[in-house]
Amino acid sequence: MQHYISYIYLLSLLLATTCVGCRHHATQDRKAIPVQTRVIEPTTVHLTRSYVGTIEDGHQVRISTQQAGQVRSVAVRLGQHVQAGQLLVAIDSTQALNAAISARATLRQAQDAVTRMQQVYAAGGVTEQQRVELLTRLEQARSLEAMNRQTLTNCRICAPIDGVVAECLVREGQNLVPGEGVVTLVQKDGLEVVFSVPETELSAVHVGDTGLINIAAIHAESLPVVVHEKGVIASPVTHSYTVKASIPASSQYRLSDIAVGMVADVRLYSLGTTGVSVPASCIQLLQTGPVVWVVEGGCAVRRQVSVGAYANDEVIISSGLYSGDTLIISGYHKLWANAPISQ
């Protein structure tokens, strides 16, 4: 009998606990969850594509020597600003100078011979054959003198343009051969950012597209760029195409502060397109695919969506959301199916 009474007592206690839990759960279900919402409206969005590029100089000149010889002096240093015509490197000109002096002497002798010949030619003292020979020697002497004068000039390697010395490839005492590079000049008013675009995104990039770059090395942000060159041959390794965008002068960052070789984050903006976009944080990834929470009849409903490209900090929705839908943008992590919400 005592065991029977104990059994009845335990059963009554269990039923009471269950009823309290049910009442608590029912109370919780009826309590509205505070959320923030946004009404979906089609808007014009600009697709953003991000790349990593390198700063290069669009006007870079590598100067080489036309004259063989030994370097006598190097008149510039790395980073130095030079003007067109300024001496960069001097080559030993001893042999070239002697050859030029000899050629000038030969030219004067040939000119004097022709002058004397003209005086006696009219009197018949010189045959036509002799006259032609003297004139030929004069032309040969002129050509030889011009060649030796140019050789002497080539011993002084001067800057063809205004710019900054990016590379100095020679040292004093070094022997040079024709065609060997000596100095590389860059012009800071022609900087550009070079980056690779995957083949799947190349059709979305056009000459004239605008964008922004960030250069972390000098804390430069949102520098405008304009695409001016689009490659047509893909890299055999990465299957990507080279794209170049020019960097115009900025009032906030001088181009002289930007160095060739710096790494830049590139963001290109395509033409505006009309569509539905939502904050990327609103999208939840489940095994069935991406979903968002919307409001239907005062309750939260999970809806399957298809996502497209990124536009700034938002994601374009290809399907699943329509104009007039109310999207839950905050507080969705506390929701369950058909949960009551308060806005």
The mean pLDDT of 41-51, rounded to a whole number, is 77
At 256 the pLDDT is: 65
Comparing 63-67, 69-73, 185-189, 293-297, which segment has the lowest mean pLDDT? 185-189
Give the separation between CA 38 and CA 330, rounded to whole angstroms: 10
Instruction: Give me the amino acid identity at 150.
Output: Q
Res. 23 pLDDT band, cuts 50 70 90:
very low
Res. 65 pLDDT band, cuts 50 70 90:
very high
Residue 243 has phi, psi (to 5 degrees) of -125, 140
Supply the mean pLDDT for the chain: 83
Give the separation between CA 141 and CA 109, rounded to whole angstroms: 9
Res. 233 pLDDT band, cuts 50 70 90:
very high
Q: Which among 114, 115, 163 is positioned nearest to 136, based on CA atoms? A: 114
